Amino acid sequence: MQLTELVSPKSISASLQANSKKRLLERMGELLHEDHPELDEHAAFHSLFERERLGSTGIGHGVALPHGRIKGLKNAIGAFAILQNEMDYDAVDQQPVQMAFALLVPEEAGEEHLQILATLARLFDQEDLRQRLLHAQNETELYQTLTG
């Protein structure tokens, strides 16, 4: 799966403002809704929030990978944001989060869901990519860096 299948320039923010994990998940739900107007942003938030309650999706290196399942969704969708201010996220390495990639998959998604998460984790494990994302000047640069 290519990242261009998950995100578009509309689902990316170069300076997302959120002062709590809950607010970050709400904002990610809003970004997902902006790119997919048929998606209920409250359902998106609820799915991300409920998964987060099971355990932190902070994967380390300043990256959060919140994800969830949505009934009626036909394909996996994503949103990406650089945070205006880093935040505590209870990440596995206890480091604050600077960026987040939210992933929603169909309720019945199985192996594909896990494969996408693994691909994203490998992608964000690359120090060079993380630095280029943090230094991107706008959403267009972010999109090109992320999907390039």
Tokens representing residue 25 in the block:
């998940």
Backbone angles phi, psi at 108, to 5 degrees: -90, 5
Q: Of 6, 12, 51, nearest to 28 (Cα)?
A: 12
Element (H, E) at 141: helix 139-147
Confirm if 29 and 41 have CB atoms less than 8 A apart. yes
Catalytic position from the list 33, 36, 61, 67: 67
Which one-letter DSSP state was computed for residue 86?
Answer: E
| 67 is an active site residue | yes
**Which residues, other chains included, contact 21 with Cβ-Cβ below 8 Å and sequence gap of 6+?**
52, 87, 89, 90
* Residues catalogued as catalytic: 67
